[in-house]
């Protein structure tokens, strides 16, 4: 061995050392760094995946409820006096008939004792202004129904719908122990009970007052510390109010008034509903929301105390509305059904009547214009630049500019569209034609770049083979190179179109942001597109439009996934080995 | 077309190759003082050679010596390279192929080419062969086209192997079959000259043997020029050999002469393996 080791440095200059501890340390370090790199990748994937899942669940949770809608299923008497006052059976007159009144009357029939003006008004506000539309369609299809009673679906107003979807806060009810005696059936009445059934709510109202007084005191202290003339005035007011509250809760036996900043307490008795306004352990005074059948005593277990947990001032639906809706729900008159209107209607100011059809049709028309312009121009430009153009400074300049155009902010294209298409060519505003033109400008660079990459990826041997058998340059390109580049071109085009589908900013500039109710019928009709519709709805104050916004996002994402799926499918289908 | 008179006389014999340098301007392809520049680089320097019809001429030489460049001049494939410039004269049957009035597409129909790597179109076997005849209008009917495809595949010795799967993809064949398909594709157009640029370098020995056999058969009908790195292959298939070195044509002559008694020192060094 010693012989060899002395010769080794001469005969073999270097030998890979595999057994020394330094070598082992090197191997360990290599493994460690590989494992580390792998774990970075996995961590990145996990984080991305988690965010994606979070985003999707959030969107779906917000958006999916808007695909369902609550309606009332009621027996509607089709009274001739409302629908066809002249009695001639003329379809035009029937179409102009007051179906809203018919719907309203059908709803009022559900609450026989309710006859106050404001109560009736509240009742009619529960259903949508378009509640009669379905009735109208039914009657127009079959005018013989006039005078008969049909069962029909009456669309609920958006806030009622939201309440029924569970955005109204909780309701708790408990059966009372004593025997209750109401003093009247309508108006303001008193209810006396033989047990102290109301003591819980009574105590709760006192403790709420205490809490409120405490908050006011803290606020007053803060204002006093600020020590400006203005804040001192406010501090005094707060102190005074706190003192009033203090005086009220300091006397445990005194009657307490409930206001709309406390949970609403109601008494369900004798088929009616009374909203508690003043409360004691054994007695309440309140306003009748739904009239009582009689003033008979109600036995223990026959009457209930209901609490709407969210204070009235914190919710969109009033106690009266909740009372009506809960009564209708208990009567099995409420139906939750798939919201077909969302997909068949155009935009509307009333959330329950608003749909995405107009936006979808507008999107399709716009994208058709974009595709029709982009695909031929983009592909031909790419073919020319990649295969035919002489390589000189001019084509170099064009190439650089195309690449730069792909990075230009989209709103700039909108400005260009405004200046050129609208102002110079006097094309109509808000039209899918102009939208398509503007988006075509936006997508063109993307398609040219993708197509050029796809053309470049075709092995030159294929073109040489074609030239070798005597094909002209053009034949070689169009018979062999272009078909092989087609999957790549298709993918690039669809990704470009998906980009166009999500584009809002340039369309705002050319007026596609207008409120458009009608579904567009042609390329020059006023229209809007899905992302702009989302933008419009997200800006509206009604809470129901929030759900609509999320719903429209789900639709947009669905369309996007569909397009990307198509891109993948096309790629797989036309992908060829060479 | 005075050269035409000589071509029939050397019709089929192996002796065609023996037409020696004396018959130099009677070649099918004649090159006179051909220079090729790639930009500033002088890639081919004053090459003059005569290539006889119905025989196989091989170009040998170390890498980068200009043999492929010269080959690609013969069907003007170099036109596709922007920086490439050709001077001098190349004639086929006495017709100058760099004449501006000559249509390069027609030239390429007369001068077929087979490339180093098999490059069938990613289409069916039938379409691969039928493409050339179709664009040149060689067939007036479907049956005529079938006949051309059939005959071409037969000539390329591929018919028996593929006759039952003409509609399958050409890229699904083995490497050797693909290369023979490419030869069939070149033959289908009815060329006079077939250029082969290292046709066997991507093939295994068995496939190579088949292609070489095929080249030997094709010799009876075509003027074949083959670029090869394998001197054994040159010795096996060609009747004449041209040795290129650093852009110049060093020596050209009967294959047997080049390999047994080369006149130039550089040729000798190369074939004995001392340079290259």
Q: What is the 3-state secondary structure (H, E, C) of B10-27?
A: HCCCHHHHHHCHHHHHHC
**What per-residue string of b and e applies to B202-220 under the rule 16 or more CB within 10 Å gives b?**
bbeeebbebbbebbeebbe
pLDDT tens-digit series, residues B90-137:
999 888 999 888 888 889 989 999 998 999 998 899 999 999 999 998
- Alpha carbons A359 and A351: distance in angstroms, whole number: 15
Cβ-contact B126, A468 below 8 angstroms: no
Beta partners for residue A71, in sequence order: A155, A335
CB–CB of A146/A84 below 8 Å? yes
Q: Which of B117, B171, B185 sits opposite A469 (nearest CB)?
A: B185
In chain A, the residue whose alpha carbon lies closest to the alpha carbon of B189 is: A469
Radius of gyration of chain B (CA): 18
Reported ipTM: 0.84
Q: What's the rounded Cα separation, in Å, for the pair B75 and B87?
A: 14
| Distant-in-sequence, close-in-space partners of A202: CB < 8 Å, separation ≥ 6 | A256, A279, A280, A281
CB proximity list for A423: less than 8 A, separation 6 or greater: none
Residue A224's contacts (CB-CB under 8 Å, 6 or more residues apart) are A231, A232, A235
Answer whether A470 sits within 8 Å of B135, measured CB to CB: yes
Instruction: Say whether pLDDT at B19 is over 50.
Output: no
Structure tokens at A273: 């509903």
Alpha-carbon distance B190 to nearest alpha carbon in chain A (angstroms): 10
CB contact under 8 A, A470 and B109: yes
Strands B240-245 and B56-60, bridge-based pairing: parallel
Position of tokens 């803060």?
A: A222
Q: What is the DSSP letter of A384?
A: I
Q: What number of H helices and E strands is found in chain B? A: 10, 10
Structure tokens given for B123: 């289409």
Nearest to A464 among B119, B171, B185 (CB): B119
Rounded to 10 degrees, the C-alpha dihedral A247/A250/A255/A258 comes to: 70
| Average pLDDT rounded to a whole number, residues A317-326 | 88
C-alpha closest to that of A103 among A74, A71, A61: A74
Mutate which of A387, A470, A472, A478 to test chain B, going by most B C-beta atoms within 10 A?
A470
Closest Cβ opposite residue A469 in set B117, B122, B132: B132
- DSSP readout, A388-448? IS--SHHHHHHHHHHHHHTTS-HHHHHHHHIIIIIIIT-PPTT-HHHHHHHHHHHHHHHHH
Contacting residues for A75 by C-beta, under 8 A, at least 6 apart: A106, A149, A150, A151
Contact B29, B90 (CB under 8 A): yes
Nearest to A391 among B77, B82, B115 (CB): B82
Q: Do the chains contact at A479 and B117, CB–CB below 8 Å?
A: no
Q: What is the pLDDT of residue B9?
A: 36
| Contact predicate B118/B181, CB 8 Å | yes
3-state secondary structure A7-27: HHHHHCCCCCCCCCHHHHHHH
| Number of Cβ atoms within 10 Å of the Cβ of A394 | 10
For residue B204, give both structure tokens.
Answer: 């295994």
A483: closest chain B residue by CA? B122
For the cut 60, the answer to whether the pLDDT of residue A6 exceeds it is: no
Sequence-separated (6 or more) residues with CB below 8 Å from residue A555: A356, A360, A530
Of B80, B105, B119, the CB nearest to A462: B119
Find out whether B30 and B51 touch, Cβ atoms under 8 Å: yes
Interface of B with A (CB under 8 A): 75, 77, 80, 82, 105-106, 108-109, 112-115, 117, 119-122, 131-132, 135-136, 171, 182, 185-186, 188-189
Averaged over A50-65, what is the pLDDT? 92
pLDDT tops 60 at residue B3: no
Terminal-residue alpha carbon distance, chain A: 56
Q: Are A32 and A132 in contact (CB under 8 A)?
A: no
B180 touches B141 (CB < 8 A) = no
For residue A577, give the nearest of B108, B109, B122 by CB distance. B122
Q: Which residues of chain A neighbour B113 with C-beta distances below 8 Å?
A: 464, 468
Residue of A nearest to B130 (CA): A469
Residue of A nearest to B195 (CA): A468
Chain A hits for B109, CB-CB cut-off 8 Å, are: 469-470
pLDDT band for position B20 (cuts 50, 70, 90): very low
What's the mean pLDDT in B14-30? 51
* Residue numbers in A near B156 (CB within 8 A): none
To the nearest whole Å, the CA of A484 is away from the closest chain B CA by 8
Measure the CA dihedral A184/A188/A194/A195, to 10°: 150
The confidence band for B244, taking pLDDT boundaries of 50, 70 and 90, is: very high
- State how far residue B256 is from chain A, nearest Cα, in angstroms: 31
- Identify the closest residue of chain A to B185 by CA–CA distance: A469
Contacts of A459 in chain B (CB under 8 A): 119
> CB A469 to CB B131 under 8 A?
yes
DSSP structural state of residue B122: S
Report the predicted TM-score, pTM, of the whole model to 2 decimal places. 0.79
Question: Hey, of B110, B113, B181, B201, which one would you mutate to test binding to chain A, going by the most A CBs within 10 A of its CB?
Answer: B113
* Nearest-CB residue to B135 (from A391, A471, A473): A471
Gap from B122 CA to chain A (nearest CA, Å): 6
The per-residue pLDDT for range A409-461, each reduced to its tens digit, is 999 999 999 999 999 999 998 899 999 999 999 999 999 999 999 999 999 99
Region A98-123: mean pLDDT is 87
Segment A213-221 long-range contacts (CB within 8 Å, at least 24 positions apart): A213/A242, A213/A245, A213/A246, A213/A249, A214/A242, A216/A241, A216/A242, A216/A245, A217/A242
- Tell me the two tokens of residue A75: 């027996």
Q: What is the pLDDT of residues A200-242, one digit of tens each?
A: 888 888 888 889 899 999 999 998 888 888 888 988 899 998 8
Nearest CA in chain A to B190: A469
- Residues on chain B touching A577 (C-beta within 8 angstroms): 122, 171
Q: A371 vs chain B: nearest CA distance in angstroms?
A: 28
pLDDT at A421: 93
Nearest to A368 by CA among A130, A233, A529: A529
Which one of A465, A475, A479 makes the best mutation probe of the B interface by having the most chain B beta carbons within 10 Å? A465
- Cβ-nearest to B117 among A390, A461, A472: A461
Nearest-CA distance A392 → chain B (Å): 11
**How many other C-beta atoms are found inside a 10 Å radius of the C-beta of residue A259?**
13
Per-residue pLDDT, averaged over B29-41, amounts to 91
Distance from the B108 Cα atom to the nearest Cα atom in chain A, whole angstroms: 5
Nearest to B7 by CA among B256, B108, B75, B19: B19
Chain centroid, CA A237 distance in Å: 43
Q: In whole angstroms, what is the distance from residue A240 CA to residue B193 CA? A: 113
pLDDT of residue B62 exceeding 60, the answer is: yes
Of A390, A462, A468, the CB nearest to B113: A468
Q: What φ, ψ does residue A253 adopt, rounded to 5°?
A: -95, -5
Query: What mean pLDDT is reported for chain B?
Result: 85
Average pLDDT for A353-365: 92
Look up tokens 């947990």; give the residue.
A309
Distance between CA atoms of B119 and A463, rounded to whole angstroms? 9
Q: Taking residues A296-323, what's their average pLDDT?
A: 86
Which stretches of chain B are DSSP H helices?
Answer: 67-74, 104-110, 125-135, 142-155, 159-162, 175-188, 205-218, 231-237, 255-260, 265-271
Two tokens at B159?
A: 């018919």
Chain B residue with minimum CA distance to A480: B121
- Residue among B71, B132, B70, B125 at smallest CA distance from B105: B132
> A253: alpha, beta or left, given left = phi > 0 and alpha = psi -120 to 50?
alpha
DSSP state of A106: H
For the record, the structure tokens of A87 come out as 């009695």
pLDDT reported for residue B17: 38
Please report residues of A whose CB lies closer than 8 A to that of B75.
Answer: 468
Record: contact A465-B115, CB cut-off 8 A: yes
CB pairs under 8 A between A and B: 69
- Structure confidence by residue, pLDDT tens digits, A491-549: 899 889 988 998 889 999 888 888 888 889 989 888 999 999 999 999 998 888 988 99
């Amino acid at each position: 061995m010693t012989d060899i080791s002395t010769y080794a440095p001469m005969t073999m200059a270097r030998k890979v050392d595999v057994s020394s501890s330094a070598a082992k340390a090197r191997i360990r370090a290599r493994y460690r760094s590989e494992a580390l790199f792998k774990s970075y990748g996995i961590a990145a994937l996990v984080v991305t995946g988690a965010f994606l899942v979070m985003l999707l669940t959030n969107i779906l949770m917000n958006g999916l409820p808007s695909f369902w809608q609550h309606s009332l299923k009621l027996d509607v008497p089709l009274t001739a006096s409302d629908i066809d006052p002249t009695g001639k059976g003329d379809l035009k007159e029937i179409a102009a008939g007051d179906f809203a009144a018919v719907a309203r009357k059908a709803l009022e029939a559900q609450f026989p004792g309710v006859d106050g003006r404001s109560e009736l008004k509240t009742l009619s506000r529960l259903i949508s202004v378009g509640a009669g539309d379905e009735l109208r369609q039914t009657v127009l299809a079959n005018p013989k129904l006039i005078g008969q009673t049909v069962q029909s679906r009456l669309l609920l107003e958006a806030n009622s719908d939201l309440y029924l979807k569970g955005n109204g806060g909780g309701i708790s009810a408990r059966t009372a122990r004593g025997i209750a005696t109401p003093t009247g059936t309508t108006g303001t009445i008193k209810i006396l009970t033989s047990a102290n059934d109301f003591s819980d709510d009574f105590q709760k109202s006192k403790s709420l007052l205490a809490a409120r007084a405490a908050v006011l005191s803290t606020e007053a202290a803060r204002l006093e510390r600020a020590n400006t003339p203005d804040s001192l005035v406010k501090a005094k007011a707060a102190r005074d109010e706190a003192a009033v509250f203090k005086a009220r809760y300091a006397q445990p036996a005194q009657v307490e008034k409930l206001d709309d900043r406390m949970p609403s307490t109601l008494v369900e008795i004798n088929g009616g509903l009374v909203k508690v306004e003043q409360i004691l352990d054994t007695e309440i005074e309140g306003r009748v929301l739904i009239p009582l059948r009689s003033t008979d005593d109600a036995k223990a277990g026959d009457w209930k105390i209901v609490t709407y947990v969210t204070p009235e001032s914190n919710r969109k639906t009033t106690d009266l509305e909740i009372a009506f809706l809960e009564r209708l729900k208990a009567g099995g008159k409420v139906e939750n059904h798939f919201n077909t209107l969302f997909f068949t209607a155009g935009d509307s100011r009333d959330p329950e009547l608003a749909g995405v059809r107009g936006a979808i049709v507008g999107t399709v028309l716009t994208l058709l214009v974009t595709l029709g312009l982009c695909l031929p121009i983009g592909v031909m430009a790419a073919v020319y630049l990649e295969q035919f153009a002489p390589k000189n400074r001019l084509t170099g300049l064009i190439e650089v500019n195309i690449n730069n155009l792909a990075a230009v902010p989209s709103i700039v294209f909108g400005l260009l569209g405004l200046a050129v298409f609208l102002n110079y060519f006097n094309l109509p505003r808000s039209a899918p034609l102009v939208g398509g033109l503007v988006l075509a400008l936006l997508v063109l660079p993307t398609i040219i770049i993708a197509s050029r990459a796809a053309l470049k990826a075709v092995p030159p041997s294929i073109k040489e083979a074609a030239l070798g058998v005597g094909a002209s340059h053009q034949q070689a390109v169009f018979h062999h190179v272009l078909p092989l580049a087609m999957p790549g071109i298709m993918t690039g085009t669809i990704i470009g179109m998906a980009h166009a589908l999500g584009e809002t900013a340039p369309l705002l500039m050319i007026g596609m942001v207008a409120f458009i109710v009608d579904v567009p019928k042609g390329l020059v009709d006023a229209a809007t597109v899905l992302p702009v519709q989302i933008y419009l709805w997200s800006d509206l104050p009604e809470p129901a439009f929030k759900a609509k916004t999320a719903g429209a996002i789900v639709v947009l994402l669905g369309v996007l996934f569909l397009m990307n799926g198509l891109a993948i499918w096309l790629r797989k289908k036309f992908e060829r080995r060479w | 077309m005075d050269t035409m008179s000589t071509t029939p006389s050397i019709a089929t014999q192996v002796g065609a190759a023996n037409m020696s340098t004396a018959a130099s301007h009677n070649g099918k392809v004649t090159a006179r003082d051909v220079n090729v520049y790639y930009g500033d680089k002088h890639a081919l320097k004053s090459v003059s050679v005569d290539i006889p019809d119905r025989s196989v001429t091989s170009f040998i030489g170390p890498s980068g010596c200009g043999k492929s460049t010269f080959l690609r001049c013969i069907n003007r494939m170099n036109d596709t390279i922007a920086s490439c410039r050709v001077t001098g004269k190349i004639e086929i049957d006495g017709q100058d192929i760099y004449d501006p009035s000559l249509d390069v597409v027609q030239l390429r129909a007369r001068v077929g080419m087979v490339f180093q790597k098999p490059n069938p179109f990613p289409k069916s076997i039938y379409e691969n062969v039928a493409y050339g005849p179709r664009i040149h209008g060689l067939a007036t009917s479907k049956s005529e086209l079938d006949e051309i495809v059939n005959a071409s595949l037969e000539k390329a010795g591929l018919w028996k192997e593929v006759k039952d799967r003409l509609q399958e993809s050409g890229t699904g064949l083995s490497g050797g079959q693909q290369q023979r398909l490419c030869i069939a594709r070149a033959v289908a157009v009815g060329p006079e000259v077939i250029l082969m640029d290292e046709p066997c370098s991507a093939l295994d020995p068995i496939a190579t043997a088949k292609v070489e056999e095929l080249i030997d058969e094709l010799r009876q009908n075509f003027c074949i020029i083959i670029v090869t790195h394998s001197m054994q292959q040159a010795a096996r298939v060609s009747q004449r050999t041209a040795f290129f070195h650093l852009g110049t044509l060093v020596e050209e002559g009967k294959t047997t002469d080049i390999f047994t008694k080369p006149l130039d020192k550089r040729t000798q060094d190369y074939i004995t393996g001392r340079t290259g």
